[in-house]
Amino acid sequence: MRRRAALGGLLAFAGASRARATPYVAPPRPAVVSGVRVEMLLDGLAHPWAVAELPDGALIVTERLGRARVLRGGTSSEVSGLPTVLTGGQAGLLDIAIHPRFAANQWIYLTLASGDASANRTVLLRARLDGTRLVEARIVFTVSESKSGLQHFGSRLAWLPDGTLLMSIGDGGNPPVSLRGAPIREQAQNMASHLGKLLRLDEDGRPPADNPLVSAPGAAAEIWALGLRNVQGLAWDAVRGTVWCSDHGALGGDELNLVRGGANHGWPRVTHSREYSGREISSERRRNGVVDPALVWTETIAPSGLAVCSGRAFTSWRGDILAGGLVSGDIRRVTADAAGRVTGEHRIPVRARVRDVREAQDGALLVLTDEPRGRLLRLLPAD
């Protein structure tokens, strides 16, 4: 299943060698997209976090409180066999990804918070889905450091064309959360730590031999990119052959990043974000060796959920990046050229916290709203 040619330069070290481009600064209130109709597929979900589609068209939804549901033929059924999950704050049952060869192995992958409020970490679970039951479930990857608090688990997943899996890990939390006497967010620049990183794993949860830091002394072999705060949007771009991620800032400074293997995105030493108090985190906005964001939202949208439009349903949107916003309560439709330089932004109002955005097999958009009674929506062209 290894198709290395499909990844092209994605496995080459990025950093200082990448041509610099000024980030696109998003307007506070972009124009509204017209011509979209909304269907409700399911409601009454308890803070849903992720949705994935099975080859037969059935949908699986995770709920942060530790449940998952399968929607098939208009009927919703609860999934059994889930492990115990740490819940509270941002902790819980989080992302889901369907193995590319699901028809042969029935494997699904789930990320979840494990431990307790004083010592916890993100883990990756693999299980076989037998109807609505998980069997042969086991943890295939565990984040290196235990942390305190219930913040910044990251936890988005995305398959690459070569059969490897990207997994985002948050930086551990805001001050005063610390690790070994320093703010825990500094671990985003520590090559030995999984915190504040994008990881690349094989289907068994191990680091592939061609990961960018495999041969670096003292570095965690799973690292694929670093210097990230809390990535909750992650998507493979089949149009451009690259990866996008959306990263939470603190006060403003949310980012949309075009990611390549080995890239350092700067957090917390280079950032457009500020502390929640308004105080500056860093005076640096750019630095040699740090990859600039493709887009900066100076006004917080709290990005979560990301998809790249194939054009199968929304034909004129092919290659557009669709980023959900928790605080903004909308989906941002971002346009970019063939090289990934952002050229504009519009918004699709949802009027609720948007936790996930995925493209279905038919090109429709699947959207989850993060509410006590959350909804699974389907977006289609109005005509």
Tell me what pLDDT residue 10 has. 58
In the beta sheet, which residues pair with residue 376?
A: 42, 368
Coil, helix or strand at residue 15: helix
What confidence score (pLDDT) does residue 347 get? 97
CA distances from 20 to 227, 251, 274, 289, 298 (A): 17, 25, 23, 10, 20
List the helix and strand counts (H, then E) for the chain: 1, 27
Pairing of strands 197-201, 354-359: unpaired
> Which residue in 47, 99, 152, 248 is the catalytic one?
152
Interatomic CA distance for residues 50 and 64, integer angstroms: 9
User: CATH number of the domain at 46-298, please?
Assistant: 2.120.10.30
Residue type at position 227: G
Q: How many CB atoms lie within 10 A of CB 3?
A: 10
Q: Is 265 in the active site?
A: no
Token pair 């060698």 is found at: 17
CB 268 within 8 A of CB 347: no
Q: What is the mean pLDDT of each run of 10 residues along the chain (383 residues)?
A: 44 45 90 96 97 97 98 95 97 98 98 97 98 97 96 97 98 96 97 98 98 96 98 98 98 97 97 96 95 97 98 98 98 98 97 98 98 97 90
Listed by start position, the domains of the chain span: 46-298
C-beta contacts of 256-259 below 8 A and 24+ residues apart: 256/293, 256/294, 256/295, 256/297, 256/303, 256/321, 256/323, 256/334, 256/342, 257/228, 257/291, 257/293, 257/294, 258/291, 258/294, 258/340, 259/198, 259/224, 259/225, 259/291
User: Which pLDDT does position 19 carry in this prediction?
Assistant: 45
Kindly report whether the global pTM for this prediction surpasses the value 0.75: yes
